[in-house]
Structures are given as C-alpha cells and as structure tokens.
Amino acid sequence: MKRSIAAALGAATAISLVLTGCSGDGDSGSGSGSNTLTLAGWSLATTPEFKTLVDGFRAVNPDVTIELKEYDAANYDTQMIADLAAGKAPDIYVQKTLKNFYTYQTGKQLLDVSDVAGKLGSTVAGLPTYQVEGKTYAIPYRQDSWVLYWNKALFAQAGVKPPDGSWTWDDYVTAAKDVTTKLKAKGSKAVGAYQHTWQSTVQGFALAQSSGADLTSADFAFLKPYYERSVDLQTAGAQVSFGDATTNKLTYQAQFGKQQAAMMVMGTWYMATLRSQQEKGDADKFEWGIAPAPQQTKATTGTSATPVTFADPTGLGINPAIGEGKVETAKQFLAYAAGPEAAKALAAIAITPADTTAVKDSFFTISGVPTDDLSKFTFASHDTKPENPVGKYTAPLQNILNDLHSAVLSGSKPIDAAITEAQDRAKNEVIGK
C-alpha cells in the first residue's frame, strides 16, 4: 500500500502544530522536553490524518506539544531509514507499509509497545501483523482496503452498466473498453480506467486473490493473468500507458479527480483526499461511488459474498532513541490513535480507522461521502489480505517484483520472460542466500 512532496534524502520539514507545551525535564532525547514529541508524516497538504490525530490528542492533553516532520511520500522508508541511522528520526514514526516493518524491527529501531497493545480491544484490525515472538512493536491506527472508484456521471454519459458488485476482472476489462469507446464517440477525452504506476495495482490483487499464491515461494506464475489484462487495456487505449504515466508524472488524484478516467482501483484512504479536493475545488464536482474490487472468479462476487482484496495496516512505532522521559507520553499517543475517539475523528475526514466498530453507522453521514448501498457494502464487507506478509524476504522480493512490473508494463520484456527472470533472481539473490 502507497500514499508526493519533493525532498532530499533524509531531509524533513518540521511543522509545529501546536504552540503550547512545557519545557522538558532535561532528558537527552530529541525535542524540547518530556511533553514535546515529534511525529513523522507525509503529503501534509493533502493528507489530513496526521493533524487530525494531533489535534484530537491535544484536546485531552493540552500540555503536550507535537511537531510533525514531513517526509516525501514516495521515498518515505528510504528517508526514514537514513534518519534513524543518523539519529535524526522523530520520536514516533509511521509504519507506512508492512514491507519494511521487518527491517525496522530486526534492526532494533522500534520500542516494545506490548503494554499498549494489551489494553486495546480485539476489534483493532492489523494488530497481530506487528507482533514478533509474542511482543508488539507498532500500533495500527488505520486499516485500508483497495476498492474500485467509479464516476457516476461518466458511466451515465457512456450509457454503460455501472459496477454492481458482481464484477470479475474480465468484466472490468470489458467495461473499461466499452466506456472508452462510447465516450470517445461523444467527443470526450476520458478513458475507461486509470491504473496507477505502483506494483500494488497489479501484484497486490494477484497475491491476495490467487489460490496458493505465496510471495516467498519464488513461483510468480500467479501474476501472469493480471498482467495480461493490464497490457490488454493499455494496448486498447482503455487506460493510460505505464510509459505515459511515468514520463508525465501523472497523479492518480488528478486522473480520477479531474475526470480523466471513469474507474480506478485505489485504497480507501483516497476517499478522504477526493472528498477534501472536491470541497476545495482541486477536483471536479461529480458524483462518485466505490464498489468491491473486481474478483478473480464469480465465487467471491455479489453482495451475499465477501470480496477478496488487499492492503497493509498503517501503524505507529516509537523510536528507541526517544528520551526516557517521553516514552510514556508517546505510548499515550499510540493508545489514543488506535482508540475509539481517534477512530471517530479519522472517520470524520473519511479515513478508515483500524477500529471501525465506533464509526460503522456514522461514516456515511459525512458530507461528500457516497451514500449508495453498494458503497456502504464495499466499506463494510471485505476480506483484506496483507500486501506485504511480514518476513525477512519480503522487502528484497518486492524490489525484484517491482522490476518485473516496470519491465512488463513498459513493454521492455514479455510477461513470461519477465516472470522467469524474477523467479531466477528470487532464488539466486534472496531465498538462496
């Protein structure tokens, strides 16, 4: 899962969100004292969750000062790893995906927060993924799922039957081509679908939905049908090509928000961004909805079934270099972020919290959020599998698979050849080491 603001490696902009706070007790950690914490974030202008968490925590802890350090969303982990090594990382930092959690945890860059986890309810999704040998090293505050966004106006203009929860990927391909053809005939430049450049957009679904798929097996044959469909859509002109998207640095927010595409698979975090951008005028005003992500087979389609999708939880961990006098305050922040009050605050800006029990009835009362039955079903019903199963091989294997992704969609390698090369590299460079 991924969620860009340019920044040099290891650099970050400190933004003070509050002016109130006590000077410290002289501890040696970063910040001005035990009641001053620093927190990592990214894309602060378009990602309101961090300020929302800080404001909510401060409402009940007015003596605490929290400063946000902004990182480049696209290079967050690279920059964070560099800052941790240099002793410049913030007190609390986000586990943006599970891909690098193993690296942080085995590198002893996360404090044990089992005491925080022990006080949380079983309804907090994603908590077990941060547990290693019985100890917990991060606390989830949100749990997204990948869904299908669709533009109701463009489907109506094209006269094509919209998503209804019954679609397989073949249905999706057919609809994307049909919408493209009919919109073009009416003089529109919009296409049926936009697939962003991330490997997640193909590989996340393939891993989650393919029976027997195992990232660490070095058998990547399960990827083939998913790439065949993507290449087919590019060739048909029903979605922007990978080359055009990368060369022109297209953003998924603009492609869907400016009505350049009628459909887009993306994580539920985009609901908050789209809602905010429509309110501010940064996105066009149009009716939209979400539907379950297309499925591999009909067996998991329809509102009587549970659609299979993917996404990693997003968690918060504590930097071991934090001053001792600040540890308890940092743990209080983690507990708040995973709790019901934070869940309500996040849901109010259309962010999906890790614990949805407190917001399941109120989420769709938020202005700008779609209220149709299919959107409500999609939000509540899904089998969400991790994009990055935690383990020592995950990060290097995902790097190899990212090379496969670029090679196939850029047209530099045929699908079979790219899969064979990736399998050989996985065995020789990662698993065989």
106 CA to centre of own chain: 23
The SS3 call for residue 414 is: coil
What is the per-residue pLDDT for 16? 34
What is the per-residue pLDDT for 414? 98
Which letter, b or e, does each residue of 101-112 get, where b requires 16 or more Cβ atoms within 10 Å of its Cβ?
A: bbebbeeebbbe
The ranges of the chain annotated as CATH 3.40.190.10 are: 13-143+312-359, 146-310+380-385
Residue 147 · residue 293 · CB < 8 Å? yes
38 CA to centre of own chain: 22
Which letter, b or e, does each residue of 29-38 get, where b requires 16 or more Cβ atoms within 10 Å of its Cβ?
A: bbbebbbbbb
Residue 262 · residue 255 · CB < 8 Å? no
Q: Which residues pair with 349 in a beta bridge?
A: none
C-alpha distances in angstroms, 414 versus 219, 239, 405, 411? 17, 19, 11, 7
**Architecture in CATH for domain 146-310+380-385:** 3-Layer(aba) Sandwich (3.40)
Print pLDDT tens along the chain (433 aa).
444 333 333 333 333 333 233 323 333 333 345 689 999 999 888 788 999 999 999 999 999 999 999 999 989 999 999 999 999 999 999 999 899 999 999 999 999 999 999 999 888 989 999 999 999 999 999 999 999 999 999 999 999 999 999 999 999 999 999 999 999 999 999 999 999 999 999 999 999 999 999 999 999 999 999 999 999 999 999 999 999 999 999 999 999 999 999 999 999 989 988 998 999 999 999 999 999 999 999 999 999 999 999 999 999 999 999 998 999 999 999 999 999 999 999 999 888 999 888 787 788 888 899 999 999 999 989 999 999 999 899 999 999 999 999 999 999 999 999 999 999 999 999 997 7
Residue 103: both structure tokens together = 């690296």
What is the per-residue pLDDT for 34? 67
Residue 105: both structure tokens together = 């945890």
| Residue of 267, 264, 252 lying closest to 146 (CA atoms) | 267
The class of domain 13-143+312-359 in CATH terms is: alpha beta
C-alpha distances in angstroms, 309 versus 146, 209, 276? 6, 7, 25
Residue 288: both structure tokens together = 């939209």
What is the per-residue pLDDT for 422? 98
Q: Which residues pair with 151 in a beta bridge?
A: 288
**What is the Cα–Cα distance from 115 to 79, expressed in whole angstroms?**
29
| H or E segment and range at residue 136 | strand 135-136
Residue 153: both structure tokens together = 């106006």
**What is the Cα–Cα distance from 386 to 342, expressed in whole angstroms?**
23
Q: Which residues pair with 265 in a beta bridge?
A: 148
| Residue of 336, 269, 320, 300 lying closest to 124 (CA atoms) | 336
